[in-house]
Amino acid sequence: MSWTIKELGFQQEKIIHHGNQFLIGHLLLGVRGTLDEFRKDQLVAINLPFVYDQVGEGWREPVNAFNPLYTTLFVNHKEISLLTQDPTYHEQCLDMKHAVMSRKTIFSIDGVQLEWQSSRFVSINHERLMVTRTMIKTDQPMTLTIKTGIDQAIWDIHGPHLEHIQKGEMPYLSMLGTTHEKGYHIHVLKHVIPHQKMNTYLSFDEGVYQLFEITTQQNQTYIIDTISIIGVDQTIDELTSTLHESSEMGFDQLLKDHESAWEKKWEYADIKIKGDDNAERALRYSIYHLLLLSPNRKPKLSIPARGISGQTYKGAIFWDTEIFMLPFYLNTDPLSARHIIEYRIEGLQGAKEKAAYYGYQGAFYAWESQENGYDACTDYNVTDVFTHRKVRTYFKDKQIHISGDIVYAINRYIHHTQDYTILSDGALEIFLEVGRFYLDYGQHALLKDRFELKDVMGPDEYHERVHNNAFTNQLVHMVFETILHYESDYHRKNDPFFDDLVNRLHFHESLELIRHMVHKIYIQPIHPNGLIEQFDGYFMHRDIAKKELLDQKLHPHEYLGGAGLAGDTQIIKQADVITMLYLFKDRYDQHIIRKNWAYYEPRTEHGSSLSASMYALTSCMIGNPSYAYPLFMKSASIDLTGESKHYAGGVYIGGTHPAASGGAYMTAVYGFAGLNFTDHITLNPKLPPSFESLSFQIKYRKKQYKIDISQQDATIQEVLT
């Protein structure tokens, strides 16, 4: 089965989508799949995740570096590129196995065929190194100019972020910029290596460029390689020395090393689906994105919600990582999984500050987490399309489930890896501080004698400031139980760590109250008809058909949540009760899941890319893989088709969707294969009819297993590594 994603022909309106579709890089450097000659307006981004900057009142977002991949052609001083001329042939390819992007374009210029090929990769073996090869060939002699350099015309949503720009050309082309807020030095160096001797000169118009003039011979291929490095607060010596060494190795060796490293990444991660090439390809593409984003490059790394695809979603980490992506790394790369948890340990201080800001004790994690747990989320996340005013949203201050999501993820991590060291490395402190936060956020309703959490927002963000969200309250219950579980666990082991921590954090009173309240937390009851109400009063909301509601839209990008069209209806943005039922599946019978699935799915707009996979997973749980299949395909191919929401209330929210990729992975493994971990591994396969078989490997408690499922059979086999 093919490892290649290929698009034939050129369409202006797909430029932005292809920038996501052909993304390459790794978690410290994202390179959008735009073409050599593209610039700012085509949303070129050499994205530097975790290098955040804020200009004025604009959103704080990761910086895009100057673009050292820029290359274009001129004939008679006229630019020849996809931006100026229709090609006679064009293809763009992604080699998923090796994370190499390439293009081939043929132009016809006064009867002469000009063929332009290039390929690029972001070396997985370097911190931030990019390598390209450009190949030019004509079928008749022709005089042309190749312009390649570091381009300053880069995409910036809330920039410009780089100031005090310095340009240089010795020993390499170079551009240095300083970030506005924190003054990071972003240094881009580019070594241009022509294979043939060519006339060359420099230009400094909108960047720094080298121009090569050649008069081609018929069908002779002219080659220029470039090797570029980006430094973030690194010395020039360090950068030039690495660039020098890499240049010595040359394109071919760098590519070879890069390819073999990528092949290793795939070794335990690939999933084979026999009988359904489309599904295999889409799932493989999802895994490709998860591998791009492996947070194994250094400790305390996590994954932004739009990955490395640009500045949308502020380059911030959401609950997406813990709930939708972590399972992939647990099964394939536990070190990455640990880093994801470590990121939140490092963010605890920020979470405590956020809680304190709102008048609460404990840890209220950032909804859009940047460094040190800083919450980049604003109070105004969308724009009213009618008045062009900013709309007050409540993602930041009311979506308190984020803290519980993290506790849930840590529990999963410990259960999966049995790495208990994480507890003393900070996880137990997270548990206590999150518990304390919930204890302080919620309240004891006296006549009802129950612990309630009012004024929250669940995963369904269309309904703001609700009371006793079923999902949130279950999480709070789980947090309280987790704390009490570890209390008795440490006591049982005669390990004083728990009590010492309680002392250090002055947690005695909270612990007593948690003990008192744990069984009083209000869990939304199961109604006689099997339904669970999403929050107090949800069933009293207007019950309007989804289509009828959407037909009432007066503007294609109008925001449906809050005071918008959906706010007072039962139409929800994404899986909410269903997400709760999936995460707490051990607590509910199958027929309850079935009833709620049937009720909530038609009322779900799936306005979030997180939604489809939860419905797909639960659909498998109730024995309905054919309901799951289209939802699985939707999750798996969201960045292949580009069929996702690009605007929310007038704000561009495009980019890749790694949580959907993670959700597709989860659906394959936990849904179709029915994988489940208790003390041992179980399978309860629900293969879609189109699947002949499904095969993959997982790591569980330090062992490697191979799992093979066919329509008839399912086996788990330990792999000795």
Residues that bind a second copy (CB under 8 A): 359, 361, 379, 386-387, 389, 391-392, 436, 439-440, 443-448, 452, 454-455, 465, 467, 509-510, 513, 517, 536-537, 554, 562-563, 565, 567-568
> Cβ closer to a second copy: 416 or 450?
450
Closest CA to 285 of 3, 696, 8: 3
> Cβ closer to a second copy: 131 or 566?
566
Distance CA 334, CA 337 (A): 5
> Cβ closer to a second copy: 465 or 645?
465
> Cβ closer to a second copy: 3 or 358?
358
**205: three-class secondary structure by DSSP:** coil
Tokens 């001129």, located at residue: 74
Q: How far is the CB of 540 from a second copy (least distance, A)?
A: 9
Q: How far is the CB of 520 from a second copy (least distance, A)?
A: 11
Query: Cα angle at 150 between 148 and 151, to 5 degrees?
Result: 100
> Cβ closer to a second copy: 387 or 721?
387
Find out whether the peptide bond into 160 is cis, omega within 30 degrees of 0.
Answer: yes
Find out whether the peptide bond into 171 is cis, omega within 30 degrees of 0.
Answer: yes
**549: three-class secondary structure by DSSP:** helix
Report helix angle 508-517 to 428-441, nearest 10. Answer: 70
Residue 155, CB-side half-sphere exposure with 13 Å CA sphere: 21
Tokens 């381009």, located at residue: 151
207: left (phi over 0), alpha (psi -120 to 50) or beta: left
Q: How far is the CB of 561 from a second copy (least distance, A)?
A: 11
Residue of 433, 461, 464, 487 marked catalytic: 461
Token pair, residue 70, equals 């820029």
> Cβ closer to a second copy: 124 or 476?
476
Report helix angle 428-441 to 470-492, nearest 10. Answer: 140
Label residue 509 exposed, middle or buried (CB < 10 Å: 0-12, 13-18, 19+).
exposed
> Cβ closer to a second copy: 201 or 539?
539
The CB density around residue 270, as the number of other CB atoms within 10 Å, is 20
Q: How far is the CB of 594 from a second copy (least distance, A)?
A: 28
Distance CA 486, CA 415 (A): 13
| Sequence-separated (6 or more) residues with CB below 8 Å from residue 589 | none
What is the sign of the dihedral through the CA atoms of 503, 506, 510 and 512? positive
> Cβ closer to a second copy: 454 or 646?
454
Q: How far is the CB of 74 from a second copy (least distance, A)?
A: 49
DSSP code per residue over 453-476: --SB--S-TTS-SBSS-HHHHHHH
> Cβ closer to a second copy: 495 or 568?
568
> Cβ closer to a second copy: 361 or 690?
361
Q: How far is the CB of 457 from a second copy (least distance, A)?
A: 13
Q: How far is the CB of 58 from a second copy (least distance, A)?
A: 18
3-state helix/strand/coil string of 23-50: CEEECCEEECCCCCCCCHHHCCCEEEEE
The CB density around residue 235, as the number of other CB atoms within 10 Å, is 11
Distance CA 93, CA 3 (A): 10
> Cβ closer to a second copy: 236 or 550?
550
Q: How far is the CB of 384 from a second copy (least distance, A)?
A: 8
DSSP code per residue over 553-620: -SSTT---STTSTTTTBS-BSS-SHHHHHHHTGGGS-HHHHHHHHHHHGGGB---STTHHHHHHHHHH
Q: How far is the CB of 451 from a second copy (least distance, A)?
A: 8
Q: How far is the CB of 400 from a second copy (least distance, A)?
A: 14
Token pair, residue 580, equals 């709760």
Distance CA 202, CA 176 (A): 17
Please say if 371 is a catalytic residue.
Answer: no
| Sequence-separated (6 or more) residues with CB below 8 Å from residue 641 | none
Q: How far is the CB of 562 from a second copy (least distance, A)?
A: 7
Closest CA to 313 of 651, 53, 28: 651
Active site residues: 461
